[in-house]
Amino acid sequence: MRHTLRGQTLTVYLSGELDHHSASQIRQELDALIRDSRARRLVLDLSSLTFMDSSGIGVILGRYNQMARRGGSLAVRKPSSQINRIFDLSGVYQIVERL
């Protein structure tokens, strides 16, 4: 997982699969990045994410809650059509911005 920090925006580039097998590791890595940065905005770039299940939604919603508690926000960028549909049907876009 690579990331960039520009100003107060932390962008994290996710790749591969975000499912029940990888969710715990990705959650831990995201938590460490959020904790160690002073970012007010977290952008998850999903352009290289090939698959996501409900565990992935949990990871994203949990990071949204973390950012909201610190007065920040979370956005997703470039989800695949399948992931876009999952977000749309699950209501994720009601609280998470799509760039």
Enclosing domain of residue 55: 2-98
CATH code where residue 60 lies: 3.30.750.24
Q: In this model, does residue 38 exceed pLDDT 90?
A: no
Centre a 10 Å sphere on the Cβ of residue 56 and count the other Cβ atoms it contains.
24
* Cα separation values, 63 from 10, 17, 20, 85, Å: 12, 17, 16, 20
For 40-84, what is each residue's pLDDT tens digit? 999 999 999 999 999 999 999 999 999 999 999 999 999 999 999
Number of domains present in the structure of the chain: 1
With 0-12 / 13-18 / 19 or more C-beta atoms within 10 angstroms meaning exposed / middle / buried, residue 78 is middle
